[in-house]
Amino acid sequence: MREIRIRKSKKPDILAIQRLLSTYFLDMEGLGPEDFVLAEIDGKITGCAALIRSEFHGKNFLEIHSIAVHPNFRGKGIGTRLVKYLLTTIGDPCCDLYVRTTAPIFFEKLSFKKIDNSEKLSLWEDCEKCEHFEKCTQYAMKHSYNS
């Protein structure tokens, strides 16, 4: 495959990010282009992922958000490259890193482990308030820096 370039996003990338996310009925959910990293092949944006800082009940943590790879480019290691790039930008782990995802196997391969519902409720206000919490298809997972 042609070379995959991973880079930080800039303002003009916003439309390409929105287009990519909309493929999976996702939106930017209040995030800005500066929150994203992108995968590019021959100048075409083929993947994106965001890293955000969150706080709830006095706990500060990081969260991977809005990860998506263009349907024609899935399964080629792009998602892995994006997550690994985000991990390098964190540097010295300042706080725990989480993700809420419908793709737990993908994240397990990147050293994330499922957490239980009580921890999920302690981290996200929208989960705490959600009437579909018991039927939620999103797994909450925590990254283990040691494995």
Where does this chain bind ligand COA (CB under 6 A)?
A: 24, 67-69, 74-80, 101-103, 105-106, 109
Nearest-approach distance from CB 92 to ligand COA, in angstroms:
25
Nearest-approach distance from CB 142 to ligand COA, in angstroms:
14
Q: Which is nearer to ligand COA, 80 or 144 (CB)?
A: 80
> Nearest residue by C-beta to ligand COA?
79
Lookup: tokens for 119:
């921890």
Q: Which is nearer to ligand COA, 69 or 123 (CB)?
A: 69
Nearest-approach distance from CB 83 to ligand COA, in angstroms:
8
Q: Which helix (H) or strand (E) holds 49?
A: strand 44-56
Listing DSSP states for 77-143 in one string gives SHHHHHHHHHHHHH-S--S-EEEEES-HHHHHTTTEEE--HHHHHHH-HHHHH-TTGGG--PEEEEE
